[in-house]
């Protein structure tokens, strides 16, 4: 058993090294892998993942969205799609990834991943090989892979964040969400991953204040964790978002004049203008890194391969905690940390 796990690990690493050297040699154009994540749940990750991916796609940048929230897959619901197959069927060798991918608006690719990726924790060598080979086929077709993850600091979430090139950490201006975002950043930092961190303050009532709130959190992270987090921007509180969810149509298309769309456009420009070329080997290499760390949750997968929603084990991940955010260095008692001063 341990021997099999060892040989799997060696094989997976060798496979990814092949891809990485291809990318480094310039033979393969390495796509960017962007994980969208948050400390607190319900702050707007799935909506941001889908609408930001659309903004990239309409800019002529070939984009795919991977639904990797192992608890509750949401992307398809926001789009009003019902996938027939998921990555699980790819792993079983029953479908090719191309048959699982759903066509989204403007040619956006939607990859229903959740249950299949959860099951990957218990995958055997053949299944892992199949998954990697299939994902490798995306390498040449996609420039950005946007990964919608679950919230919190469970290993099954951190695996995706730590494996990405970039992570967009979504928070709202609420102290609980900020405290959980800080806790998540600390947990990512502890993985020693070179993932670059970016912050988005969603649902702000006032853009400059939201921006300042993000900068304060980034300042706190720089001071106490010596880790750099860039403030990518803000998204306004906008009733068009909830209306679009109800209609199961992305607000980017359904509400073209909305403030939320203008903000998402700015975020897409930020990503295209400010994010440097990826250097971690593209999509297959990303999947290899996820698979190499997901097995830590192996014992948790039930017979369907679904992982239970894990309780936060980190005190900072407790979104029910005090709004004063105890334990966040320099945060409790920090005047106006609820949302930046006017």
Judge residue 38's burial from the number of C-beta atoms within 10 Å of its C-beta, 0-12 exposed, 13-18 middle, 19 or more buried.
Answer: buried
At closest approach, how far in Å is the CB of 71 from Mg ion? 9
Residue span binding ligand ATP (CB under 6 A) among the ranges 39-47, 60-68, 131-139, 206-214: 39-47
Per DSSP, helices labelled H in the chain are 2-24, 45-58, 75-79, 87-91, 97-100, 114-119, 125-136, 155-163, 175-190, 207-225, 239-247, 251-254, 259-274, 282-293
Residue span binding Mg ion (CB under 5 A) among the ranges 41-49, 101-109, 257-265, 315-323: 41-49
- Which 41-100 residues touch ligand ATP, going by CB under 6 A? 41-47, 69, 74
Q: Which two tokens stand for residue 226?
A: 């010596």
Q: What are phi and psi of 147, to 5 degrees?
A: -110, 115
**Nearest CB to ligand ATP, comparing residues 69 and 134:** 69
In the numeric block, the tokens 């889908």 are attached to 50
- Which 12-31 residues touch Mg ion, going by CB under 5 A? none
The binder of ligand ATP chosen from 109, 123, 221, 241 (CB under 6 A): 241
- Which 218-257 residues touch Mg ion, going by CB under 5 A? none
Residue span binding ligand ATP (CB under 6 A) among the ranges 34-42, 215-223, 224-232, 327-335: 34-42
- Which 128-187 residues touch ligand ATP, going by CB under 6 A? 151
Q: Which does 172 bind (CB under 5 to 8 A by kind): ligand ATP, Mg ion, none?
A: none
The binder of Mg ion chosen from 37, 38, 74, 127 (CB under 5 A): 74
At closest approach, how far in Å is the CB of 170 from Mg ion? 10
Distance CA 226, CA 329 (A): 13
Distance CA 240, CA 252 (A): 10
Distance CA 215, CA 334 (A): 14
CA end-to-end span of the chain: 60
DSSP per-residue letters across 3-36: HHHHHHHHHHHHHHHHHHHHHHTTSS-PPEEEEE
Contact yes or no for 173/338 (Cβ under 8 A): yes
Residue span binding ligand ATP (CB under 6 A) among the ranges 19-27, 40-48, 182-190, 210-218: 40-48
Residue span binding Mg ion (CB under 5 A) among the ranges 31-39, 42-50, 110-118, 127-135: 42-50
Q: Which does 237 bind (CB under 5 to 8 A by kind): Mg ion, ligand ATP, none?
A: ligand ATP
* Binding region for ligand ATP (CB under 6 A): 38, 41-47, 69, 74, 151, 202-203, 235, 237-238, 241-242, 245, 260
């Amino acid at each position: 058993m341990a021997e099999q796990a060892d040989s799997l690990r060696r094989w997976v690493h060798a496979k990814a090294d092949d891809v990485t050297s291809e990318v480094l040699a310039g033979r393969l154009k390495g796509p960017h892998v962007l994980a969208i994540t948050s400390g607190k749940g319900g702050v707007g990750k799935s909506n941001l993942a889908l609408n930001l991916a659309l903004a990239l796609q309409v800019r002529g940048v070939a984009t795919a969205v991977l639904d990797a929230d192992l608890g509750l897959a949401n992307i398809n619901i926001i789009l009003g799609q019902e996938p027939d197959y998921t990555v699980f069927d790819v792993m079983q060798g029953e479908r090719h990834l191309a048959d699982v991918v759903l066509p989204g608006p403007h040619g956006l690719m939607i990859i229903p991943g959740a249950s299949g990726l959860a099951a990957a924790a218990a995958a055997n060598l053949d299944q892992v090989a199949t998954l990697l080979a299939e994902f490798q086929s995306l390498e040449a077709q996609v420039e950005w892979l946007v990964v919608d993850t679950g919230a919190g600091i469970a290993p099954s979430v951190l695996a995706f964040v730590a494996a990405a090139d970039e992570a967009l950490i979504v928070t709202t201006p609420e102290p609980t969400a900020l405290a959980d975002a800080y806790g998540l950043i600390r947990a990512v930092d502890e993985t020693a991953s070179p993932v670059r961190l970016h912050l988005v303050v969603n649902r702000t009532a006032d853009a400059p204040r939201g921006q300042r709130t993000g900068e304060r959190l980034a300042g706190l992270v720089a001071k106490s964790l010596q880790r750099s987090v860039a403030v990518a921007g803000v998204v306004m509180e906008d009733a068009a978002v909830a209306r679009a969810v109800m209609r199961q149509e992305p607000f980017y298309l359904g509400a073209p004049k909305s403030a939320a769309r203008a903000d998402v456009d700015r975020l897409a420009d930020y990503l295209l203008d400010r994010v440097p070329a990826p250097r971690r080997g593209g999509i297959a290499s990303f999947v290899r890194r996820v698979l190499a760390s997901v097995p830590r949750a192996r014992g948790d997968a039930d017979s369907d391969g679904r992982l239970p929603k894990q309780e936060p084990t980190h005190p900072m991940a407790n979104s029910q905690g005090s709004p004063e955010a105890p334990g966040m260095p320099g945060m409790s008692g920090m005047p106006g940390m609820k949302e930046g001063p006017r």
